[in-house]
Amino acid sequence: MGSRHEKQKSKEIKMIPKHTAIIMDGKGRWAEQKGMPRIFGHQNGVAAVKKIVEEANKHKIEYLTLFTFSVENWDRPSNEVDTLMKLLVQTLKDEFEDIFNNNIKLSTHWNWYNETTVQVVDKSAPINIPLILSRQRLAFEGNFYKNLNLSTGLEMIYHTEFKADDYMPLTGQFFVQNSYMLRNRPTANAFLHFMIKRFKGYIRLENLNTLIPTSNSLGNTYNFTAQNYPGTGTWFRVGIWWNFIN
């Protein structure tokens, strides 16, 4: 028979949850109570997250969910939202370089593809680009029924606000401007890609974000390429490719 200490330890191990979810809230208010700007609270929240991840790994918690941004958060001032997005991406880049811009296997068939670029140009350069450009793809993938290779899921593309080039229809050219700030929603696309032997095809429903009406908190229905030049709405695309071998 095991000792009392061993039994207690075994009981504690059984009590450790398989999945832990944490709502990250109150960081901005905490900073304001200390007389500091709200971003100070968000920056301290990063340190807290690092400790949480380390402890979760230490106690063998298999799944950890962190709720970092909600729909209601879009109602915050645009500069705070933009700063939060920059802080999130920078933290991922600093702390998780081993998984950054790589395929992260979530389970047997679920994969998360993370591509994020931080862009910096010389202040004297005649060009304006977003600081952060990110493409996230969550896909259910695998080989089924021997010959069917399948990948289906949701894709999100986002860039931080920036002073995008304006367009001159008379000359058909874009030109640098420094007065209008372009702010777009994340672009959402649903996809189904498949291959059966030498036959390949795809079905895509793109710009799903345009299904949400314009609002003060969520911005314009359409994403813009330049001031007064909106992009396309939701549209459906189908493509096939077949390789014939003689």
Q: Looking at 72, 100, 128, which one is the last position of a domain?
A: 100
pLDDT tens for each residue of 24-81: 776 777 778 888 877 777 777 777 877 887 788 778 787 878 777 776 777 777 777 7
For residue 186, give the amino acid letter. P
pLDDT tens for each residue of 81-111: 777 777 776 776 666 554 445 555 666 788 8
Which segments within the chain are labelled E, that is strand?
19-23, 63-67, 103-105, 110-118, 132-144, 148-159, 166-168, 173-175, 187-196, 199-206, 224-226, 229-230, 235-242
- Report the alpha-carbon distance of residue 175 to residue 168 in Å, rounded: 7
* Residues 123 and 239 occupy one common structural domain: yes
10 assigned to some structural domain? no
* Residues 51 and 74 occupy one common structural domain: yes
* Residues 242 and 149 occupy one common structural domain: yes
For residue 126, what pLDDT band results from cuts at 50, 70 and 90? confident
3 assigned to some structural domain? no
What's the mean pLDDT when you consider all of the chain? 82
* Residues 177 and 212 occupy one common structural domain: yes
* Residues 67 and 128 occupy one common structural domain: no
* Residues 68 and 145 occupy one common structural domain: no
Q: Which domain holds residue 229?
A: 101-246
Q: What is the pTM of this model?
A: 0.57
CB atoms within 10 A of CB 188: 19
